[in-house]
Amino acid sequence: MATEYKRLGGSAINPGLNGNIAYQVPENKAAVISTIHVCNPTSSDATFTVWIYKTTEGMDDWAAWAKDVPIAANSMFSATQGITLEADVRVTVACNPAYSLNFHLFGSEIDA
């Protein structure tokens, strides 16, 4: 069972109001999200939402990991959680105002 440490899904830059898939666990893999970083490089305060959900179940409020979290201008939010995910689970991010925040997920993928 191989483990690969990486920046999961890269960076979801400027996801908009409706959400953008930041990462999806590949088939035949599991994943652990160790850290989520959200950066607000703008001069305005903003909010963000992160959903974690199985692709077959859809994205709604029960799947919100963090909902409408405020983040100050020119600041960063960071959470170290160790969130364990199975294959076909998505992490989707959104922000308000649209196109204002950068998201980064770090962790590991494990062969299932």
CATH of the domain at 45: 2.60.120.340
Give the pLDDT of residue 11: 62
Tally: H helices and E strands in the chain: 0, 8
Give the pLDDT of residue 75: 97
Residue reference for tokens 């196109």:
99
Report the SS3 class of residue 68: strand
Give the pLDDT of residue 17: 81
Average pLDDT per 10 consecutive residues for the chain, totaling 112 residues: 73 74 92 93 94 88 90 96 94 88 91 83
Q: In this structure, is the dihedral angle defined by the CA atoms of residues 57, 61, 66 and 71, taken in order, positive or negative?
A: positive
Give the pLDDT of residue 74: 97
- The whole domain housing 84 covers 3-111
The number of domains in the chain is: 1
Give the pLDDT of residue 99: 79
Residue 48, Cβ density class (10 Å: 0-12 exposed, 13-18 middle, ≥19 buried): buried
Give the pLDDT of residue 1: 65
Give the pLDDT of residue 68: 94
Give the pLDDT of residue 9: 65
